Structure 1
Amino acid sequence: MAGNPWLRFAARRLGRLLVSVWVLLTAAFGMIHLIPGDPVRAALGPMASAQVVAARRAALGLDDPLWQQYLHYLGNLCTGRLGVSMGSGLPVSQLIADRLPATVEIAVYAFLLALAVAIPVGAGMAVLTRGGRRRHAELAFTSTSVVLAAIPEFLIAVGLVFVFGVSLGWAPVAGRSGPESYVLPVVALAIGPAAVLARIVRVEMLAVLRADYIRTARAKRLPARLVYLRHALPNALTATLTLGGLLLSAMVAGTVLVENVFAWPGLGAAIVQSILAKDYPVVQGVVLVYGLGVLLVNLAVDVALALLDPRSTIRES
């Protein structure tokens, strides 16, 4: 391993991933136990007798010391058991399997929409404003993108519901009932990242357009379309795709609020309901899935960077 930089890179990344997973598991366990209230009483209702509540707590191991509960939790995870929902009595793994596709769908669709909008808009603005041209267009683009990137997803979602759902009636505002029901949630998730990516594409494209090989291509009288699309754009997209991978992690996390605005049957709605009900196993399982998703996306970005620029990435790692 000492002589192979790729093995050292893989070992470091794997070590960081394992430490991050342990921190994630510990944080999920600790935070859920800091929530005030009795989860068993919340699940059984106020009419349940004290004896029934005590028996249920003992059956779930909630009377054990916290460190024993933690070890039991880790042991169950190592054997693939996420526990049983205190409210519904269903296995947490079944609940996650039922709801995960809905969350992944809107996150991936929003990511693709953000790329589809940001790349042509950012590249087009770079071409229009290169060399200090069209200052008014540059100012309008910069101001608009900053404002859109700063608005939280749930506010965008509420605005879309009011305008296009309630006022105009163009799209459904709740549920997952057909292709049209995806429009507003996906747009709500994509607007902010698209604005950020468009600015990055423009900056990277402007830097590429000032490069010597672009001047050489122009000196050869190549068509402008060929210069921009074949020579400039591919070289400008490396940083964009890297940041896009990181924004995908943020999109996954952003689904929590957006799903609740649109009553989307995904993990975001499930975790909010579980927190309110103090359903420990569901909260821990959903937090674990979200956290692992973010960690795996970040790992994929690191690997992509290593493949695109092996020398600098592996040396820095």
Structure 2
Amino acid sequence: MTDYPVANLATKRGGRPPEGGPRRRTLLGSKSPWLAFAIRRTISLAATFLALVCLSFLIVQLIPGDPAYALAGANAAEEDIERIRHQLGLDLPLAQRFFDYVGNVLTGDLGSSFMYGQPVMTIIMNRLPFTATIAIAGIIVVLLISVPLGMLIGLLTRGGRRSWLDAAFGAITGFLDSVPGYVAASFLVVMFALGVGLFPILPPAYAPRLGMASFILPVAALALGPICTISRVVRRETAVVLENDYMRTARGWRLPALKTYMKWALPNLVTTTLTLSGLILTGMIGGAIIIESVFALPGLGTGIIKAILDRDYPVIQGMVIVIGMIATLINLLVDLVLGLIDQRNLGGAHASS
């Protein structure tokens, strides 16, 4: 290994690396890449959270209209509207409302809905399972299909073989990847729900007996585009890895194909794949919100749309914070996986040594 030249030099001369030498100090001391990673990501999470809090407050100020008018009704008297605005605290100066909002959020209080009077956290927790089910299932499906598919096409087309397959794969995945998620969702509904009748289209909230079958089409619509994107990246990375000298040597030794590709090819292409996948999987959170609207699932997507129409400021703000933090945690999870694969992906001094 080139990361610890002193230890390697001692070994080559027939000696043993000194106890508590460079390796031990790097992994356990102040230069530990995991410690530096934890510090950086903690600061990053805190900064992201504060940015989301400020952004969520500013967003609602740009929404046209006044929640007091929506609550009071079209024929309400002006004094009734002013009374509602006072009850909601909308008559306070903007700066005071901002500092009150930030203080409440930092103590874990997201406020109560203007329309329903329920705590915002209760509304979010009632809707979060639907969005989480679609997003998590979609991410699992994407990774389970795109990586093996990309590797298979890369192996079959290695060295310019089967150029027709490579061209067909690129054309099909490129076309499917260009189809917007809501268009794919509408097509799946027409084909497999209304046409064939193979899957139900009623959400589980309204038809509990249908169970998980109601999520099949939403997950398929959400995962279709990312599968095409990631599989194309994996195919390209597979083609590059297979031309490396160590892969040629492994094939020359006539090692079992499964061992060769799983032990040496996969770990060397997974870093680039996961780095791109982190960005794509984060975007799937926004895609899940759109897909929910097509299938009328009562998740965060339909909830935030309804809150915008109702000008329900606390609900909008709470959902923006929750959705933003979910996306941030997905990126953190991808970075953790990359760090487990190779500590150089953690950055810092260790990566540059």
Q: Shorter chain as normaliser: what TM range?
A: over 0.9
2:273 corresponds to 1:240: yes
1:243 and 1:173 map into 2 onto residues whose CA distance is 32
Instruction: Decide whether aligned partners of structure 1 residues 232 and 73 sit closer, same or farther in structure 2, where only a CA change above 3 A counts.
Output: same
Which residues in structure 2 correspond to 1:214-293 (within 5 Å)?
214-293=247-326
Name the residue aligned to 1:89.
Answer: 117
Mean alpha-carbon deviation: is it higher for 33-42 or for 47-56? 47-56
Gaps of 5+ in 2: 1-28
Name the residue aligned to 2:91.
Answer: 63
- How far did 1:2 drift? 6.5
2:294 and 2:39 map into 1 onto residues whose CA distance is 42
Instruction: Decide whether aligned partners of structure 1 residues 200 and 172 sit closer, same or farther in structure 2, where only a CA change above 3 A counts.
Output: same
Mean alpha-carbon deviation: is it higher for 270-279 or for 227-236? 227-236
Name the residue aligned to 1:29.
Answer: 57
Are the aligned partners of 2:34 and 2:346 in contact in 1 as well (CA < 8 Å)? no
Q: Percent identity?
A: 43
Name the residue aligned to 1:169.
Answer: 197
1:214 and 1:88 map into 2 onto residues whose CA distance is 62
Q: How large is the RMSD of aligned CA atoms in angstroms?
A: 1.9
Partner AA of 1:298 in structure 2: N
Which residues in structure 2 correspond to 1:115-194 (within 5 Å)?
115-176=143-204, 177=207, 178-194=211-227
Instruction: Decide whether aligned partners of structure 1 residues 230 and 305 sit closer, same or farther in structure 2, where only a CA change above 3 A counts.
Output: closer
Are the aligned partners of 2:138 and 2:219 in contact in 1 as well (CA < 8 Å)? yes
Partner AA of 1:111 in structure 2: I
Which of 275, 294, 301 is residue 334 of structure 2 equivalent to?
A: 301
Q: TM-score, normalised by structure 2?
A: 0.84
2:71 and 2:159 map into 1 onto residues whose CA distance is 64
Larger Rg: 2
- How far did 1:88 drift? 1.4
1:4 and 1:214 map into 2 onto residues whose CA distance is 32
1:312 and 1:242 map into 2 onto residues whose CA distance is 10
Name the residue aligned to 2:343.
Answer: 310
* SS of the residue 1:124 aligns to: helix
Gaps of 5+ in 1: none
Instruction: Decide whether aligned partners of structure 1 residues 198 and 307 sit closer, same or farther in structure 2, where only a CA change above 3 A counts.
Output: same
Are the aligned partners of 2:45 and 2:328 in contact in 1 as well (CA < 8 Å)? yes
- How far did 1:116 drift? 1.8
- How far did 1:312 drift? 5.2
2:235 corresponds to 1:202: yes
Name the residue aligned to 2:104.
Answer: 76
- How far did 1:252 drift? 1.2
- How far did 1:4 drift? 4.8
- How far did 1:261 drift? 0.3
- How far did 1:44 drift? 3.1
* SS of the residue 1:202 aligns to: helix
1:174 and 1:102 map into 2 onto residues whose CA distance is 13
Give the paired residue count.
Answer: 317
Are the aligned partners of 1:24 and 1:288 in contact in 2 as well (CA < 8 Å)? yes
Q: TM-score, normalised by structure 1?
A: 0.94
Are the aligned partners of 1:154 and 1:261 in contact in 2 as well (CA < 8 Å)? yes
2:48 corresponds to 1:20: yes
Instruction: Decide whether aligned partners of structure 1 residues 57 and 160 sit closer, same or farther in structure 2, where only a CA change above 3 A counts.
Output: same
1:195 and 1:4 map into 2 onto residues whose CA distance is 38
1:223 and 1:8 map into 2 onto residues whose CA distance is 40
- How far did 1:49 drift? 3.0
- How far did 1:5 drift? 4.5
Are the aligned partners of 1:246 and 1:301 in contact in 2 as well (CA < 8 Å)? no
2:256 and 2:47 map into 1 onto residues whose CA distance is 52
Are the aligned partners of 1:96 and 1:267 in contact in 2 as well (CA < 8 Å)? yes
Which residues in structure 2 correspond to 1:88-107 (within 5 Å)?
88-107=116-135
Partner AA of 2:312 in structure 1: D
Mean alpha-carbon deviation: is it higher for 289-298 or for 209-218? 209-218
Partner AA of 1:201 in structure 2: V
1:39 and 1:124 map into 2 onto residues whose CA distance is 55
